[in-house]
């Protein structure tokens, strides 16, 4: 007998313990019969004020990732979703592939949606070639984002790195700050705008901005959730979370 609520799919979602945005975002984009079950990756030092601290965040993730996977596997999930974006851009396509392979092996063979690949799939669906990007990262994180997108064939016309000082403070970024960044990025002439950083709250604002700019504005939490649904044959249309859910 199947799960009463997750009668279509149970997603095991991995998210940093400091993240307060990705879980409510995924729940707001819920569809009947699909349940996201969250497992937290322990982040004991949330300082992101320097490039060295950005690297330390990756060390913390490496230390805690396997245990987070083990925890959520006990619910007999069908598929894995990465609710943190920085690690999925680090090291380009090879880095994303390595991360997916690690999760798949530890989870007993489950496929996984990542933010980097989700953005790639959405942008490819719109057949755009140039983008501009907003991130919450320090410069080393920004370089990894640029390198990933350039490696997969996109021209990055402009990037704004907000350089949030801590992992928790990313979620304190206001809509006014994000709106100003979007307006500046739009002036670059890019065919699409991308927001990365799963603790930035921008799903709703991105959907609004698509109406202002008449171009795709891709919020990473929406792209990751879209990928997870579509890769599992769930093609429900959702409204208010970006055109990707309506168009593809």
Q: Where are the domains of the chain?
A: 9-116+222-239, 117-219
pLDDT score, position 183: 98
Q: With 0.85 as the threshold, say if the pTM is over it.
A: yes
Are 224 and 113 contacting, i.e. CB atoms less than 8 angstroms apart?
yes
pLDDT score, position 242: 96
3-state secondary structure of 88: helix
May I ask the CATH class of domain 9-116+222-239?
Answer: alpha beta
pLDDT score, position 2: 82
pLDDT score, position 60: 87
Q: At what angle do helices 139-151 and 92-106 cross, to 10 degrees?
A: 90
Are 119 and 194 contacting, i.e. CB atoms less than 8 angstroms apart?
yes
The CATH number of 117-219 is which of 3.30.420.40, 3.30.1490.20, 3.40.50.1000, 3.40.50.1860? Answer: 3.40.50.1860
**Matching CATH topology for 9-116+222-239 and 117-219?**
yes
pLDDT score, position 1: 61
pLDDT score, position 59: 87
**What does pLDDT average to in each consecutive run of 10 residues of the chain (248 residues)?**
91 97 98 98 92 87 94 98 95 96 98 98 98 97 97 98 96 98 98 98 98 97 98 97 97
């Amino acid at each position: 007998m199947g799960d009463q609520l997750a009668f279509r799919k149970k997603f095991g979602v991995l998210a940093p313990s400091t993240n307060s945005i990705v879980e409510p975002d995924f729940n707001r984009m819920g569809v009947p019969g699909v349940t996201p079950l969250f497992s937290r990756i322990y982040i004991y030092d949330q300082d992101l004020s320097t490039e060295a601290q950005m690297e330390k965040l990756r060390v913390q993730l490496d230390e805690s990732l396997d245990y987070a996977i083990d925890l959520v596997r006990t619910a007999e999930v069908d598929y894995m979703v990465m609710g943190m974006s920085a690690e999925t851009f680090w090291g380009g396509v090879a880095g994303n592939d390595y991360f997916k392979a690690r999760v798949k092996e530890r989870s007993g063979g489950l496929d996984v949606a990542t933010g980097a690949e989700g953005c790639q799939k959405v942008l490819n669906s719109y057949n755009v070639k140039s983008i501009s990007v907003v991130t919450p990262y320090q410069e080393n994180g920004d370089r990894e984002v640029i390198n990933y997108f350039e490696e997969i064939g996109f021209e990055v016309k402009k990037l704004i790195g907000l350089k949030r000082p801590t992992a928790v403070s990313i979620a304190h970024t206001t809509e006014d700050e994000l709106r100003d960044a979007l307006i500046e990025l739009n002036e670059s002439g890019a065919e699409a705008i991308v927001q990365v950083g799963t603790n930035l709250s921008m799903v709703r604002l991105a959907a609004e901005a698509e109406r202002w700019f008449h171009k795709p504005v891709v919020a990473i939490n929406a792209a990751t959730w879209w990928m997870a649904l579509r890769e599992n044959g769930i093609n429900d249309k959702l409204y208010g979370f970006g055109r990707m859910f309506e168009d593809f």
